[in-house]
A and B are shown apart, each in its own frame.
Chain A
Amino acid sequence: MTRVLEAVGLAVGRGKTAVLSGVNLAVEAGERLALVGANGAGKSTLLRALAGLDPVLGGTIRWNGGSLPLGAERVRTLGVLFQTETPSRFSVRELVTLGLGLDGPASPPDRARVDALLERAGLTALAERSCAQLSGGEAQRALLSRALIADPRLLLLDEPTNHLDPARQATLLGWFDRLRGNTAVILATHDLALAATCDRVALLDDGRVSHLGTAVEVLTPENLTRTLGVGVRRLDDPNGGPPLFRVVSA
């Protein structure tokens, strides 16, 4: 089976200066990978390159074994949730429909599909409301729905829980699990507890991927202290759930 995403010897940066180099990443269908690192470690830069938004400085990225297509095929390959997006005045229904990447009005089956997703995302009552009038959590759900409507094989999320209070974070992650189906996910996050819920974690440090493995292997106090520059204590869940992290002074 082809990999959803495969990056080999990747170098990415802003302008011509490499922020990260020698990056090798592969993501299988349904897998969830977290990118963790300090500010400026290159999480967003890497994510933008993986979304095909910026040209890479070196190496190759293959999506489903090939390059990124345009149009409706693009949104079936890859969905993106940006860290910040200026709210538009499209209605929620229009915004989610745009996620289908269509060239023309939506067909009746497409419209039914949008309705079904709006229902699952709890947005049916807000379907005709302008996105500019949504609360932060509602807007995030609408944007997530837009990223998922075409049922992409891979979803890229940049700091999905940023600016959300803990209750909304938990709610968003609940929605997210409910909506994503078998879509593979790569997310960039500062939130170690969120990273710990992922199948694998890539730690970005010193211009490269310094560690790549399961959350338990990678998110060790020693690794985190070295990459984030603070002391971190890990509190493992005796019931086998994802661990919690507590930042202590260095």
Chain B
Amino acid sequence: MKRQALVPALGLSCALVAAIALCAGPSGWRLPWPVTDVITELRAPRVVLAALVGAALAVAGVAMQSLLQNDLADPFVLGLSGGASAGAVTSLAVAPGMPPGPAAAAGALGAAVLVRWLARGPYDPARLLLAGVAVGSIGASATGLVLVLAPSSRLLRASTYWLFGGLGTPAWSSLIAPAVFLFAAVAWMIARAERLDRLSLGPDVAASLGVEVPALQRTVLLLSVALTAVTVSAAGVVGFVGLIAPHAARRLIGQGHRGLIPVAALGGALVVMLADTVARTAFAPREVPVGLVAAAVGGPFFLLQLQRGLR
């Protein structure tokens, strides 16, 4: 496919998947008219949230991989998943009546700040990654401890959606701020696409090619962590998408961020919308966490793509 056709094609695919998602419910498939409250107040905002979460995680993943020059980097790599899980589970155990989103986001942000502080001094991706792994492990073990020491099946079940991602039933009004932030972040990054290209070659090369490296690193790190925290506060830890969508996008359109960012964002939106549709309907009336579905469906697909690339 021509590169120029990729963004419109992905956009159309997203619209198609969104339409399918609107038709799909726990009681089976039904055309979305006449339009009922179920469509407008339950399914539609959830589909929009799925798209926002997928796009935000994909863009954060692109940013993290370029910032750290590491293909294994994902939005949660700096300890964010451990921090988010610990925050969410603690909130559920201590204040079961409260929505755990803010605590999850605070945990993710706290972990990122701690990691950046631990790896302070001259910028060093290896130290950031190591600190991220350590802080993430501590967060994961804290999560496990809370689950083991406060054992109630209700806590365990509620926690699952925050540990592996769940989109719930968002209100339209709660989607406005994340959407505005996502579009602003994407616009900011696309406007600096060529600087991000140079940054992905490493800080020394980027500086020698005219990039004001520390300022760009700071802002990109901040944006990536903030995008991730926003998704965490709405949907818990949706793994896999932020790792795979950037890679799939790189294979489709190459390394240049001007094309990579929109393609990854649309790809991420597509994957999460699709995964959430399956998560809502496959085991109806029970729902499964969307992150598990994304990994279970997306993993084999990605491995197939990888095998084809290796040949």
- Residues of A near any B CB (own CB < 8 A): 48, 51-53, 69-75, 78-80, 82, 85-86, 88-91, 94, 98-99, 101-105
Q: Give chain A nearest CB distance to B29 CB in angstroms.
A: 42
Which has the most chain B C-beta neighbours within 10 Å: A51, A75, A88?
Answer: A88
Among B197, B202, B209, which residue has its beta carbon within 8 angstroms of that of A75?
B209
Q: Mark B196-211, 1 if CB is under 8 A from A, else 0.
A: 0110111011011111
Known contacts A91-B254, A94-B255: does B202 contact A86 (CB below 8 Å)?
A: yes
Q: Give chain A nearest CB distance to B219 CB in angstroms.
A: 15
- Give every chain B residue within 8 A of A79 (Cβ-Cβ): 208
- Give every chain B residue within 8 A of A80 (Cβ-Cβ): 205, 208
Report Cα–Cα, A21/B111, bound state, in Å. Answer: 42
**B side interface size, CB within 8 A:** 22
A85–B201 CB distance below 8 A: yes
A98–B209 CB distance below 8 A: yes
- Give every chain A residue within 8 A of B195 (Cβ-Cβ): 103
B205–A101 CB distance below 8 A: no
**For the complex of A and B, 3 pairs with smallest distance between CB atoms:** A74-B210, A101-B210, A80-B208
A89–B250 CB distance below 8 A: yes
Q: Give chain A nearest CB distance to B103 CB in angstroms.
A: 39
A70–B205 CB distance below 8 A: no
- Give every chain B residue within 8 A of A48 (Cβ-Cβ): 204
B69–A94 CB distance below 8 A: no
Closest to B211 in A: A70
Q: Give chain A nearest CB distance to B85 CB in angstroms.
A: 33
Report Cα–Cα, A91/B255, bound state, in Å. Answer: 8
Q: Give chain A nearest CB distance to B2 CB in angstroms.
A: 15
Does B8 belong to the interface (CB within 8 Å)?
no
Which has the most chain A C-beta neighbours within 10 Å: B194, B209, B210, B258?
Answer: B210
- Give every chain B residue within 8 A of A70 (Cβ-Cβ): 210-212
- Give every chain B residue within 8 A of A103 (Cβ-Cβ): 192, 194-195
